[in-house]
Each structure stands twice: as structure tokens, then as C-alpha cells.
Amino acid sequence: MSEEINNREYRQKVLKELITQLHDGKSVEEVKGQFAAVFGGVSAEEIAQAEQALVANGLPVSEIQRLCDVHAAVFKGSIEEIHQPSDPSEIPGHPANTLKRENKAIEKLIAEIREEIAQPSGGNDGKTALGRLTEIDRHYLKKENLLFPYLEQYGITAPPKVMWGVDDEIRAQLKEINTQLKTADLSHLKGPIEELFAKISEMIFKEENIMLPMLLENLTQDEWKRIAEESGELGYCLIDRVPDWSPASKKEGETVRQEKAAPGVIALPTGVLRTEELVRMLDTLPIDITFVDKDDTVKYFSQGAERVFPRTKAIIGRKVSNCHPPASVHIVEKLVEDFKTGRKESEDFWIDMGEKYILIRYFAVRSEKGEYLGVLEVTQNIRPIQEIKGEKRLVSK
């Protein structure tokens, strides 16, 4: 066992040295020779640990990102797949299977675009196909918002940062190409398009041979289930008919990782907050919130620094009809009735108050089954928003 540990540590040390040499300017060919002499095969986990160690030792993530394509060229063909008794990536509906399905669809679309570029006619269909390729954003969004968080929870932080940076490069390149295609032919952009395709192909390789094995090694069935349940909200890339998937059974000793609610803590479907955090969060929003329950009783209002309309705690428990002047109470009652019957889901009003332009919005609040739970009133001074012009992309000094 000690020999195995020593070998693993040695391999990690050499791998870190090779990446460092790449960072210092050595060519891919020089590093390839050293790599072949030392490694008969290296696991995805070891590559991740090596990059993680470099980041921990002070190498900026941007530097690893700059060399990301070089890394892939060195490691390609020598990463051993981490096989499991039942490969989840072959199970329809499992997020691992969905990821691979999307990658195959991306590769198929790229092949179609290449065929169009080769056509003498210039290929308008190719322009349309490149437009469809923008769906790759959904693929990357799921990776960044569903898969990366779990890797980070298991202490794997460097690979997600590097991959996210490359994802953004791909997005930017694709956007630029589609913009240029409005006034140019496909054949005139063959070089940039091929560069884009090469980067996308490398990312597919990294996802399936580096990221996916790490996920399959660490994530529990319950975590995969949560990923599957939330994937639909972010959408799918170039595929449809993704079946529902549920774990057949839990692995031995596997437990659901949850943060239990303690006194002063509120457990919500998408997180756990201390009462103070929730109160201060709601009061920090640049809007006024008031909630009236299904019995027309005022249950809550936020206390922001600059309220549009005055509120006192005396209104808590008061009937909403008693909170409005007699001249307008019939409007409120009719609106609440429309919400209760389902005739309306929302209603907006706006008032010009000189320096302030007040937008008042009412929303019906319903349960998952559609049962009426109450009314949410949201009030905001939108005058500053109306005055926004141009763009702001830098942090204020």
C-alpha cells in the first residue's frame, strides 16, 4: 500500500512539474516526450489534483486557462476512464447520459456546418446551423450552475474555474462569428469557425474524460437526482425527449447531504437561511414588499431604508380592505377577487409623483397545486431605472 501511495505522489509531482514547464514556455512536443517516458496512463483525478495544487501554490487560474488547450493535447489519449459496474452515462435520463447526448448533438451539428462551408454556393443553411449552435449556452449553463457547485463541495475547485473561463471564450467567439455572418459568407470566416470548432471539441473531450469521471466518483445518487430534477429549468442543448430518471437504489452507506434547520434557521427548498439573514436580505432589496394571505389579512411587509409608502407594524393582522381609503377599497377588493378566482395572475399600476415614478405591482401567490395563498404587493421607484442609458461594464470607483 505504501508503494502505491508513493507512486501516486510521485506521479502527481511529475505531472505538476510538466504543467509548470508548459507554463514556463516549453513546447508541447518537449513535454510530450517527458510525459510518455513517465506515465503509462493517468487518471482524471490526478490531473485535477495537479491543477488544484498549482492553484494552491499561487499559479493564477487564468494562467492554467491560457494553457488549457495545451494540457488537453498532452493528456489526450492517456486518460484512463473510471469505469463503474453500471455506467451511469448509459442510463437514459441520467445527467451523465444527457451530457453525452448533448455533446454528440453538438458534434453532429458541427459536421453539418463543415459540409455547408465546403459547398460552392456559400451555404445559407450553414449560417442557420451556426445560429442553432448558440444552444451550446444551455449546455454550459447546466455545467456551470449544476455540476460545478458539486465539484466545489468536494474540494475540486481549479478545473471548474478553468473550464468556465474557456466556456466564456467559446461563447464570445460564437457570438462574434454570428455577428459577422450578417454581412459575410461562411467561406470568408472559415478560419475563425474552425478555431471555434477546435475549442468546442477540446471542451467536449475535457467534459467527458476529466470532469465526468470526477463527478461519477464523488457524487451521491441523491445529488445526481437533484441535478436531473433541475436540468429542465435551464433547458437542453440540441436534444429533446429527456426521460425522467430516478436512482434505482442507494449505494451502501450513502446518505442525503442536507443542512438541518436549527433554532433561528429557516429551511427553504433552495437553501437554508438564518432568520436575521432572511430579514436583512428582504430589507436590502430596492423594493417594498407586502404580503396579504388567503384570508385577506396582512401578514408581512419589508422595512427598506427608503419606503415609498409608510407602513407600521400595527397593520400586521389587519384586513387589507381596511388599509386603503374608502374611495379605492373597491378596486382592491375586485383585484383580490380576480386573483382568488384565477381570472388574473397580476396587475400593475404606476403613479407620477414628481421626483419619483412609482410602479406598483400585484401578484397572485399560489401553491404548487395552484391553490390561492395570497397577494404579493411590490412597490418600486423606477425613475432612476428610466434614466439609465448606454452600457456600464466596469465597477464604479
Q: Burial of 93 by CB count in 10 Å (0-12 exposed, 13-18 middle, 19+ buried)?
A: middle
Q: What pLDDT was estimated at residue 305?
A: 84
Write out the residue limits of the CATH 3.30.450.20 domain(s) in the chain.
265-386
Write out the residue limits of the CATH 1.20.120.520 domain(s) in the chain.
88-234
Cβ partners under 8 Å of residue 172, min gap 6: none
CB 360 within 8 A of CB 269: no
Q: Are strands 265-268 and 79-80 parallel, antiparallel or unpaired?
A: unpaired
Cβ partners under 8 Å of residue 298, min gap 6: 290, 291, 292, 315, 316, 317, 318, 319, 320, 323
* DSSP state letter for 182: T
Q: Is 88-234 in CATH node 1.20.120.520?
A: yes
Q: What pLDDT was estimated at residue 258?
A: 44
Q: What is the pLDDT along the chain (397 residues), one digit of tens a residue?
A: 444 445 556 766 776 777 777 777 777 777 776 766 665 555 555 666 666 766 777 767 766 665 565 555 555 555 543 334 458 888 999 999 999 999 999 999 999 999 888 876 655 667 888 999 999 999 999 999 999 999 998 989 899 999 999 999 999 999 999 999 888 888 788 899 999 999 999 999 999 999 999 999 899 888 999 899 999 989 999 999 899 998 865 443 444 444 445 667 888 887 888 999 999 999 999 999 999 999 999 999 999 888 888 777 878 888 888 877 777 788 889 999 999 999 999 999 999 988 899 999 999 999 999 999 999 999 999 999 999 999 988 888 8
What is the rounded distance in angstroms from the CA atom of residue 292 to the CA atom of residue 48?
A: 51
What is the rounded distance in angstroms from the CA atom of residue 343 to the CA atom of residue 335?
A: 9
The helix or strand, by DSSP H or E, that contains position 337, with its residue range, turns out to be helix 329-341
What is the rounded distance in angstroms from the CA atom of residue 155 to the CA atom of residue 164?
A: 16
Interaxial angle between packed helices 2-23 and 28-38, expressed in degrees from 0 to 180 and rounded to the nearest 10? 170
CA 210 to chain centre: 19
What is the rounded distance in angstroms from the CA atom of residue 65 to the CA atom of residue 164?
A: 9
Beta bridge partners of 266: 273
| SS3 (DSSP) at 271 | strand
Closest of 190, 384, 203 to residue 286, by C-alpha? 384
Annotation: CATH topology of 265-386: Beta-Lactamase (3.30.450)
Q: Burial of 282 by CB count in 10 Å (0-12 exposed, 13-18 middle, 19+ buried)?
A: middle
What is the rounded distance in angstroms from the CA atom of residue 39 to the CA atom of residue 129?
A: 41
Helices (H) and strands (E) in the chain, counts: 16, 9
Phi and psi dihedrals of 309, rounded to 5? -120, 145
Q: What pLDDT was estimated at residue 366?
A: 97
Beta bridge partners of 233: none
Interaxial angle between packed helices 95-117 and 190-206, expressed in degrees from 0 to 180 and rounded to the nearest 10? 160
What predicted TM-score, i.e. pTM, was given to this entire model? Answer: 0.59
